[in-house]
Amino acid sequence: MEMILINGVAFVAIFAALMVVFHRNPMVSIIFLIINLVCVALFFLFLQAQFLFAIQLVVYAGAIMVLFLFVVMLLNLRHEEETRPGGRIQWTLALVGGIGLVGLLWRSLRGRLAGPGATLGGFPDRFGNVEEIGRLLFGDYLLAFEASSALLVVAMIGAVILARRNES
Amino acid sequence: MDPALLQQVVEAGTKVALVVGMVMGAVTYMTWVERRVSAWIQDRIGPNRVGPAGLLQPIADGIKFLFKEDIVPPHVFKPLYILAPALSFVPALLGSAVVPFGDSIHLFGRDIPLRVADLNVGILFIFALSAMGVYGIALAGWSSNNKYSLMGGLRSSAQLISYELAMSLSVVGVLMAAGSLRLNEIVMAQGELWRWNVFTQPFGALIFMTAALAETNRLPFDLPECETELVAGYHTEYSSMKFAMFMMAEYANMVTASALMVTLFFGGWQVPGLASLRLPALAVSLIQVAAFCLKVGFFLFLYVWVRWTLPRFRFDQLMDLGWKVLFPLALVNIFWVSWLILKGWI
Amino acid sequence: MKTSFLPMVSAVLFSIGAIGVLIRRNAIVILMCIELMLNAVNLTFAAYAYEFRSMTGHIFIFFVMTVAAAEAAVGLGIVIAVFRRNRSSDVDDVNLMRW
């Protein structure tokens, strides 16, 4: 039962990713990216990462994509222009390169995971819970946590300055 | 199907049907409550023709909406135009899945917890859903291809994400006091009457109430959708059932916000002094559910009362309030709760 | 639950994102494909965290999301600044420093 659901979600995620890349209207690309982000959030839910499920929806699908949506609406972007000369070669090279990348990654990832019969032990208590993430963030990874808060402040200042109109 | 799975499915299905029925019933009758209470505040009568005291008015309105012509204007971007009301309505309904409307009831020899889903990240799920609800409004505004709708949609989205911040920070105080994100544990941590979060963190409660008013696009924060400002804001181009869906989404959001208000700050389903009465367990559970419904009803009435009393904010006043007043106050509230926990009073 | 196919799904998503960055000319769609790649990486981390029963993967995902949010904000700021000058969001028009 779970396998049917998870396969379905994988199929929708890949279809949405293809539509993001190959559709001409940027607004439709945003909608399909939101669908893809929701699919990844559902994957997190299946993989016992409940806190990340909620955070993915709040941060990625709920805040970052709203930012993209605002920019597309304010800049009033419509369809993309036609292919310029030399574009055909770029398309084919990119597609070949992409398929090559998939093949390379598959070869390296295949067989690295334990099979379905392997027993790696049960889950530790409260796996994927908020308490455990809080304990790790404020314990083992405190430096990274504080550094990321500095990163966010710098990014906020940078975004405000970059998007400001010149007072002329 | 093995009996344990079947039992789980039946139990979950019944709870879902019950909660959806209650929320949709509340949504339908909120229209009646709104019209009667606004009439009472404005010293007139309100609908009293259809059925006793106008109680069948929402049904008449529903039938009217069903029979209205569903116009899809030719200049809109059809896929998103048709998707947007659903994007607004589904998160509004889903939010009531994690709210505990009672403790647990002992029926058929089993203890059935009275909430549809007991997520470990309970309250974060509701924030995730309100983040997704922003899209319904933004996309409705954009896809209508109309400058009033676009302005309404953009303003509403900006308002929603600004007040999401104040709402989340005011809830952090509650989470610190309760020590868990699960809504039922937040209710249990509030104990009897004097430790309800509204008394220990009054600022937090006030900020949450204001932010919830803004999150549901209700007056005094309804600039994006009111009739006198931007024609009708983001739902200018909508008619019949799609417009009704936006209205239902707004009322369902109100119901969820009131339920959250009760759960987080007003002790949820707890009734002070009930344990000392020594009633049978079934009666206790039912009284708790009734108490929850009464408290949520009071907050719905409060929503309507505030709407017909206060004038609306201008958009820049609204954004000032969200960023310059509520956000620092929410941070002060966090310090206050930390101090209380340090002193051992919570 | 058999999750051994999830790194494959993530590899496919990553490659689709990479193709998107190479093919598309609209700056915002390129940023979206970068987000797609970051999400594929997050999925890999989550799959391996589930497999090895270790929450370090989750912490990694948390920080990747933080960095992605910061990068999306700054990237969109740059796109807006460039748009004001060029009146188009085409990355081929950002060629003032070409020979």
Chain segment A30-89, per-residue pLDDT in tens: 999 999 999 999 999 998 888 999 999 999 999 999 999 999 888 877 666 555 656 788
Q: Are C71 and C60 in contact (CB under 8 A)?
A: no
What tokens does C45 get? 């981390």
Do you know the residue count of chain B? 346
Q: In this complex, does chain C touch chain B, defined as having at least 3 beta-carbon pairs under 8 Å apart?
A: no
Q: Which of A22, A12, A17, A48 is nearest to A130 (CA)?
A: A48
* Whether the complex's predicted ipTM surpasses the cut of 0.85: yes
pLDDT at site A85: 57
What would the mean pLDDT of C2-27 be, rounded to a whole number? 89
The per-residue pLDDT for A86 is 60
| pLDDT above 70 (res B74) | yes
- Residues of C within 8 A of A59 (CB-CB) are 65, 69
Instruction: Set out the domains of chain C in order of their start, with CATH numbers.
Output: 6-91 (1.10.287.3510)
Residue C79 CB-half CA count within 13 A: 25
Q: Does residue A117 register a pLDDT over 80?
A: no
Task: Check A54 against B132: CB less than 8 A apart.
Answer: no
Task: Please give the average per-residue pLDDT across B195-204, as a whole number.
Answer: 89
Structural tokens at position B155: 């303003």
Look up the pTM and report it: 0.90
* % residues pLDDT > 90 (chain C): 56
Which residues in chain A have their CB less than 8 angstroms from residue C5's CB?
A: 10
Instruction: Tell whether the model's pLDDT for residue B221 goes beyond 60.
Output: yes
* Contact yes or no for B245/B89 (Cβ under 8 A): yes
pLDDT at res. B274:
78
Would you say residue B311 has pLDDT above 90?
A: no
A27 and chain C: CB distance < 8 Å anywhere? no
Which pLDDT value is given to residue B46? 83
With cut-offs at 50, 70 and 90, classify the pLDDT of residue B101: confident
Chain C contact for A103, CB < 8 A? no
According to DSSP, residue C93 is labeled: G
Percent share of chain C, pLDDT over 70: 99
- Burial class from Cβ neighbours inside 10 Å (0-12, 13-18, 19+) for residue B64 reads exposed
pLDDT at A9 over 80: yes
> What Cα–Cα distance (Å) separates residue A98 from each residue in A95, A152, B211, C14, C16?
5, 32, 46, 9, 7
CA A130 vs CA A50, A141, B121, C47: distances in Å = 8, 15, 7, 18
pLDDT-derived band at B168 (thresholds 50, 70, 90) equals very high
Tell me which residue has tokens 């974060």: B124
Q: Which residues pair with B105 in a beta bridge?
A: B112
- Chain A within 8 Å of C85 (Cβ-Cβ)? no
pLDDT reading at A119 higher than 70:
no
At C85, the pLDDT band (50, 70, 90 cuts) reads confident
β pairing state of B110-113 and B104-107: antiparallel
Q: Is residue B160 within 8 Å of B137, Cβ to Cβ?
A: yes
Cα separation, C76 vs A70, whole angstroms: 10
Residue scoring higher pLDDT (B268 or B226): B268
| CA-to-CA separations, A167 to A162, A164, B61, C74, in angstroms, rounded | 13, 9, 53, 21
Given a contact as 3+ CB pairs under 8 Å, which chains touch A? B, C
**Across residues C15-36, what is the average pLDDT?**
92
pLDDT in tens, C46-63: 998 888 888 889 999 999
